[in-house]
Amino acid sequence: MKTNLKVLTLNCWGVPVPVACKDHHERMVAIGEKISKSSYDIVFFQEVWKKGDYEILKKQIGSTMPNSHYFYSGSIGSGLCLFSKYPILETIYHRFDPNGYVHKIQHGDWFGGKGLGLAKISVDGFTVNSYITHIHAEYNRDNDEYRAHRIAQSFTTSQFIKLTNGSADLSLLCGDLNLEPVDLGYKMICNNAGMKDSWLEKKSSITEDKGGNTCDCPSNSYVDDKHKDRYPDGKRIDYILYKSGNNCDAVIEECNVTLGRIPGKLFNYSDHEAVEATISLESTKTGPTTTPQNDSLVAMLQECLTILDDGLQMTIRNRRFFILFSIICLILAYFIAIIHIPFPLDYFVTFIRLVLGLMMGFGIVQSTIMITSEVHGLKASRDDVKNLLRSLQK
């Protein structure tokens, strides 16, 4: 038995903030129109934060790809959804913990409840485990305050795939990993989960000159000069990773970077480029399987432990900061309360007391609830890494 499967992944840049996300509605309509006229079998979308955008895509794509699923999570949704020509048999979503900071509103990752979605799809007799994710963004490569969070999410992704893909003929991981090929997180996913990179394994490509780069590409209409200077060729953070099952041989016939400028418009479909791949599947009695290289994996896990331990040390410093912050607010509120302020300035004092009370409450919530949750997430990932490391060393 043999069949071809054509898949695409795209970060749609659907941030529900008009000022921060240009040409939002026009782009979503254009994406839906483009996909509806395509020959894709499975399409993976990230950053579809607004349910209205999902409905736009569903309405346009539904006639050619009638099966779809949106992974709900967090306060604004995970932003992850997929569309398929083939039946979706089962779905599940695993939410990442830790996942950023609630007070970093300008980043917003925490509110999306980021995680890893799985849709099991039946493709002409083959079972395809379709994983989709959007790992926490890297906002400063030189000083990544989320490094421990991103390593925890990468390791969790690799473990989840490894422990759930046993019966699959093909496993796909598609999405914006926010990881470059040189990063530890990317290497961990490929090694521990046994995944291969479609761009590296492809037989052919019509966009070889792009180097597989999908973000901050100079040809993209939404890239500013600052990123063009830092990444003159862009960077590769969007992937189609795959793994053949025991009774299936998967070959990447072609892989391309696609969906650049919208025809007739002066802007792109998204601030990211899309990645597409054509995969041939053939049944075999002893299909190829990828097993992790223990020596290199052990070294990666040990580096993961170092990063997670550093992250835990950072939580201690952050907790001390918020405790001190709350104490200072309390002291200021006390002094304002005992100092006599003449009318009509006493109205301002009431307002200041209210603000100080809210700030103190924020500090208490951060130091007790939010940071404790972060600590538990980092410790859980650290223990999982230790368990795997112990197993490999035996």
What CATH number did the domain enclosing 38 receive?
A: 3.60.10.10
Using the 3D structure, point to which of 249, 283, 317 is the last residue of a domain: 283
**Taking 90 as the threshold, does the pLDDT of residue 285 lie above it?**
no
**What per-residue confidence (pLDDT) applies to 373?**
86
Q: What is the Cα 81 distance to its own chain's centre?
A: 12
- Range of weakest confidence among 50-54, 91-95, 131-135, 209-213: 209-213
Say if CB 177 and CB 135 are below 8 A apart.
Answer: yes
Q: Do 8 and 41 belong to one domain? A: yes
Looking at residue 191, its amino acid is N
Any residues with CB less than 8 A from the CB of 170 and at least 6 apart, and which?
5, 123, 126, 127, 128, 129, 242, 243, 244, 245, 248, 250, 279, 281
Q: What is the Cα 137 distance to its own chain's centre?
A: 7
Q: Do 350 and 384 belong to one domain? A: yes
Q: Do 311 and 200 belong to one domain? A: no
Using the 3D structure, point to which of 236, 257, 283 is the last residue of a domain: 283
pLDDT bucket at 183, cuts 50 / 70 / 90: very high
pLDDT digits (tens, 9 = 90+) for 293-313: 677 899 999 999 999 999 999
Q: What is the Cα 135 distance to its own chain's centre?
A: 3
Looking up tokens 């109205």 gives 347
Q: Do 189 and 44 belong to one domain? A: yes
In a domain, 79, yes or no: yes
Pair of tokens at residue 111: 């509110």
**What per-residue confidence (pLDDT) applies to 348?**
76
Say if CB 156 and CB 188 are below 8 A apart.
Answer: no
DSSP sequence for 263-325? TTSSSBSSSB-EEEEEEEEEE-SS-------HHHHHHHHHHHHHHHHHHHHHHHHHHHHHHHH
Using the 3D structure, point to which of 283, 310, 342 is the last residue of a domain: 283
**What per-residue confidence (pLDDT) applies to 75?**
80
In a domain, 94, yes or no: yes
**What per-residue confidence (pLDDT) applies to 343?**
66
pLDDT digits (tens, 9 = 90+) for 218-237: 989 998 877 777 888 899 99
In a domain, 288, yes or no: no
Q: How far apart are the first and last CA of the chain?
A: 40
Q: Which of 103, 136, 272, 340 is catalytic?
A: 272
Q: Do 302 and 372 belong to one domain? A: yes
**Taking 60 as the threshold, does the pLDDT of residue 378 lie above it?**
yes
In a domain, 347, yes or no: yes
In a domain, 289, yes or no: no
Residue 24 annotated as catalytic: no
**Taking 60 as the threshold, does the pLDDT of residue 288 lie above it?**
no
In a domain, 370, yes or no: yes
Q: Do 196 and 269 belong to one domain? A: yes
**Taking 90 as the threshold, does the pLDDT of residue 38 lie above it?**
yes
In a domain, 329, yes or no: yes
Q: Do 233 and 321 belong to one domain? A: no
Q: Do 195 and 300 belong to one domain? A: no
Radius of gyration (C-alpha) of the chain in whole angstroms: 23
Looking up tokens 């306060």 gives 75
Closest by CA to 137, choosing from 220, 8, 257, 237, is: 237
Q: Do 27 and 102 belong to one domain? A: yes
**What per-residue confidence (pLDDT) applies to 242?**
97
In a domain, 302, yes or no: yes
Q: What is the pTM of this model?
A: 0.88
pLDDT digits (tens, 9 = 90+) for 78-122: 899 999 999 999 999 999 999 988 888 888 888 888 999 999 999
Q: Do 54 and 159 belong to one domain? A: yes
Q: What is the mean pLDDT of residues 66-71?
A: 93
**Domain containing residue 326:** 294-393
Please give the tally of structural domains in the chain.
Answer: 2
Q: What is the mean pLDDT of residues 123-144?
A: 93
Q: Do 316 and 276 belong to one domain? A: no
Q: Do 217 and 349 belong to one domain? A: no
